[in-house]
Amino acid sequence: EKEYGYRLRPEDFVDGGAYNSAWRVPRKAQRDWIDFLSGFVRANVKKLADMSHEAGKEAMMFLGDQWIGTEPYKDGFEDLGLDAVVGSIGDGTTTRMIADIPGVKYTEGRFLPYFFPDTFYEGNDPSIEGLDNWRKARRAILRSPISRMGYGGYLSLAAKFPKFVDTVTHIADEFRDIHDRTGGVAAEGELNVAILNSWGKMRSWMAFTVAHALPNKQTYSYYGILESLSGMRVNVRFISFDDVLEHGVADDIDVIINGGPVDTAFTGGDVWKNPKLTETLRAWVRGGGAFVGVGEPSSLARFQAGRFFQLADVLGVDEERYQTLSVDKYFPTVTPEHFITADVHVDPAAREAWEKAGYRIPLSGCGGGQGIKPLGGIDFGEPVANTFPVNEDVTLLRADGGQVQLAVNEYGKGRGVYVSGLPYSAANARLLERALFWASHNEDKYTAYSSTNPECEVAVFPDAGQYCVINNTDRPQSTDVALPDGSVEHFDLDQSAIAWRNL
């Protein structure tokens, strides 16, 4: 009350039973409490760090059990004097959440599985989880290196599983080799991608999360965005609506992504009432920018301004909220072949059935044009119902079941892309990667150092004069990698393998 001029009430914390979940659009009381708590905790952390240094020791924070109030991505974290942050690695997203923390000398990942009886019991093979965890983390480490790795739990349990000990030895050797070859420098990113939501930088790599690396039914269709980006050949940052309102869109941003369900912190809620926000983003895209929307992007909980998606004109897609049922909605013919879907495999029988079935005739309120049979081939996760193209100039790439799952739209000199959902898979990571390159008019940059097999990814290290190809599966994979001079190199990779070549 002395600092902020008002007193917090119990309801500010109870929040109608939501308890200020990160999914809630943050309110003033919530933001003020975060600032207040952070100031208190950080002051004490600084004292503890100074005490550690006076004793000749380093000060390390474990991200997960002890980070409340420290806010690693909030301005000023670098002033605490911490030497390092260590955290549990569950997948690529949580790896980046640790690796990207600024203001410390180094970061460390605590890999899975923990040496506990729930995994280390007779008849189980912990090496399976160990390699799966490593594959998920490795693609992110190549993009944002962590300096150290480790495990946790009871060593006496792990010692009873020699195969697991050998697996950890292999993983540790590979981790060292990556650092020796790259000098701890991140792989080159081709594009600059910004995730736009209410939290911005302060919740970097924490969007769409309920539990650490454990997406659920309501979240997995969006969490896949982060997991795909975590190991993709792009540079990722997180920006807030306040950033855009105060400073516009930074000149070096190639693509903005906004996604999630309506009325959440990740789509924005009532911030879309502000005409300055929509004007700024429309002008940026019209001038050559790229906007990718996932799920219910730019949505307002109440139907306003004739649209549910406030940037429906940019995306080319909106969602029927039972307010405009009397307005016909015409679906243009689906375009099955496109740059974005070039790597999508469609079952030939499904393709034939889709072509033979044709399209629905016009009906009151729908206008017609929807495909009778699904084309398929893409996992969009939980469906977003009643999406439709805003005009017949929109290019539909998937519109199964009478609603839009994937569409692209030209908007002035820029482009919009709509995706209804994006659970993580190698195929969907490739789909998103192609969408980002297409939306930003960078199709000509895509081929060099691309892999023909989505299960294999390529990371380029110009300063080290090398590139690597990784197999992200527990099965042997083959792929061809296109080089900048037009030549192609073939790779046959064992399960979980990594191969290095000179540039």
DSSP assignment string, 1-12: -TTTSS---HHH
Question: What are the DSSP calls for 118-144, one per residue?
Answer: TTSSTT--HHHHHHHHHHHHHHHHHHS
C-alpha 215/C-alpha 226 separation (Å) is: 11
Check whether the bond before 10 is cis (ω within 30° of 0): no
| 14 occurs within a structural domain | no
Q: Is 228 domain-assigned?
A: yes
User: Quick check: is 36 in a domain?
Assistant: no
Q: Minimal CA–CA distance to 501: which of 181, 72, 236?
A: 181
State yes or no: pLDDT of 364 exceeds 60. no
Residue 367 has pLDDT above 70, yes or no: no
312-361 pLDDT per residue, tens: 999 999 999 999 888 888 899 999 999 999 999 999 999 999 999 988 87
The Cα 101–Cα 103 span in angstroms is 7
Residue ranges of E strands in 383-487 = 387-389, 395-398, 406-411, 414-419, 456-461, 466-471, 477-482
The verdict on 441 and 294 lying in the same domain is yes
CA–CA separation, 293 and 255 (whole Å): 11
Cβ neighbours, 10 Å, residue 185: 13
Q: Same domain, yes or no, for 282 and 367?
A: yes
Q: Same structural domain for residues 296 and 395?
A: yes
Q: Are residues 134 and 89 in the same domain?
A: yes
Confidence of residue 489 (pLDDT cuts 50, 70, 90): very high
Q: For 22-30, which contacts have Cβ atoms below 8 Å and span 24 or more sequence positions?
A: 22/199, 22/203, 22/206, 22/209, 22/265, 23/210, 23/264, 23/265, 23/266, 24/264, 24/265, 25/198, 25/263, 25/264, 25/265, 25/268, 25/269, 25/270, 25/271, 26/198, 26/199, 26/265
448 touches 489 (CB < 8 A):
no
100-153 tens-digit pLDDT? 999 999 999 999 999 999 999 999 999 999 999 999 999 999 999 999 999 999
Is there a single domain that holds both residue 178 and residue 244?
A: no
268 and 415 fall within a common domain: yes
Q: Per DSSP, what are the bridge partners of residue 164?
A: none
Handedness of CA 64, 68, 70, 72 (dihedral sign): positive
Which of 148, 182, 216 is the endpoint of a domain?
182
Residues 234 and 92 in one domain: no
* Nearest by Cα to 382 from 264, 295, 320: 295
Q: Extract the tokens encoding 467.
A: 């590139």
Domain that holds residue 468: 450-502
Judge if 221 and 306 occupy the same domain: yes
CATH number of residue 84's parent domain: 3.20.20.80
d(CA 20, CA 27): 9
Q: Which residues of 44-60 are buried (b: 16+ CB within 10 A; e: fewer)?
A: ebeeebeebeeeeeebb
Q: What is the pLDDT of residue 87?
A: 95
Q: 429 and 456 share a domain?
A: no
Which token pair is 446? 């895509």
Indicate which CATH number applies to the domain containing 426: 3.40.50.880
Number of domains in the chain: 3
What is the rounded average pLDDT of the residues 429-436?
Answer: 98
The packing angle between helices 220-230 and 126-143, to 10°, is 60
Hey, what are 295's tokens? 């799920």
Residue 223: which H helix or E strand, with range? helix 220-230
Which of the residues are catalytic? 65
Residue 349 lies in a domain: yes
Average pLDDT over residues 351-376: 81
């939306």: which residue's tokens? Answer: 439
Beta strands 406-411 and 414-419 are antiparallel
Which segments of 219-348 are extended strands (E)?
A: 234-240, 255-260, 290-295, 299-304, 307-309, 317-319
Residue 365 has pLDDT above 60, yes or no: no
Domain presence at residue 11? no
| Final residue of a structural domain among 122, 148, 182 | 182
Percent with pLDDT over 70 in the chain? 98
Q: Confirm whether 50 is domain-assigned.
A: no
Query: Bridge-partner residues for 400, per DSSP?
Result: none
CATH of the domain at 487: 2.60.40.1180
Residue written as tokens 């965890």?
A: 133
Please name the helix (run of DSSP H) or strand (run of DSSP E) that holds residue 491, with its range, or none: strand 488-493
In this predicted structure, the answer to whether residue 302 has a pLDDT above a threshold of 90 is: no
Give the pLDDT confidence score for residue 366 in this predicted structure.
58
Tell whether 385 is covered by a domain: yes
Please state, rounded to an integer, the average pLDDT across all residues of the chain.
95
Domain boundary among 115, 150, 182: 182
Q: Are residues 232 and 161 in the same domain?
A: no
pLDDT higher than threshold 90 for residue 66: no
pLDDT at 13: 93
- Do 373 and 234 fall within a single domain? yes
In DSSP terms, which residues pair with 255 in a beta bridge? Answer: 193, 290
- Range 254-263 burial, b when 16+ CB lie within 10 A, else e: bbbbbbbbbb
Q: Please indicate, yes or no, whether residues 175 and 242 belong to a single structural domain of this protein.
A: no
Residue 459 lies in a domain: yes
**pLDDT by residue (tens digit) across 217-265?**
999 999 999 999 999 999 999 999 999 999 999 999 999 999 999 999 9
Question: Is 310 a residue whose pLDDT tops 60?
Answer: yes
Least confident span in 59-73, 168-182, 186-200, 285-299: 59-73
